[in-house]
Amino acid sequence: MSEPTYKLTVLISGNGTNLQALINACASSALPSTRIIRVISNRKSAYGLTRAAAASIPTTYHNLIPYKKQHPDTPAGISAARSAYDADLAALILADAPSLAVCAGWMHILAPSFLAPLAAAGVPVINLHPALPGEFAGAGAIERAWEAFRKGEIKRTGIMIHEVIAEVDAGRAIVVEEVEMREGETLEELEKRMHKVEHGLIVEGTRRALKEIGERREKERGEGEGEGEGEGR
Side chain identity at residue 213, one-letter code: I
Bridge-based pairing of strands 125-129 and 100-103 is parallel
Which residue, 14 or 98, has its beta carbon nearer to ligand GAR?
14
* Integer Cα distance of 202 and 172 in angstroms: 15
Of residues 107, 156, 114, 153, the one with CA closest to residue 129: 107
Cβ at position 215, least distance to ligand GAR in Å: 26
What SS3 state is found at 162?
Answer: strand
Cβ at position 135, least distance to ligand GAR in Å: 13
* Active-site residue, 129 included: yes
**Which one of the listed residues 62, 71, 129, 162 is annotated catalytic?**
129
Q: What residue is closest to ligand GAR based on CB?
A: 105
Cβ at position 75, least distance to ligand GAR in Å: 24
Which residue, 133 or 214, has its beta carbon nearer to ligand GAR?
133
Partnered with residue 8 across adjacent β-strands are: 36, 100
Cα maximum dimension of the chain: 76
Q: Under a CB-based contact definition with an 8 Å cutoff, are residues 41 and 12 in contact?
A: yes
> In what helix (H) or strand (E) does residue 208 lie, and over which residues does it extend?
helix 187-226
Cβ at position 147, least distance to ligand GAR in Å: 16
User: Using CB under 6 A as the criterion, which residues of the chain lie in contact with ligand GAR when the complex forms?
Assistant: 12, 14-18, 48, 104-105, 127-130, 195, 198
Q: Under a CB-based contact definition with an 8 Å cutoff, are residues 47 and 16 in contact?
A: yes
Active site residues: 129
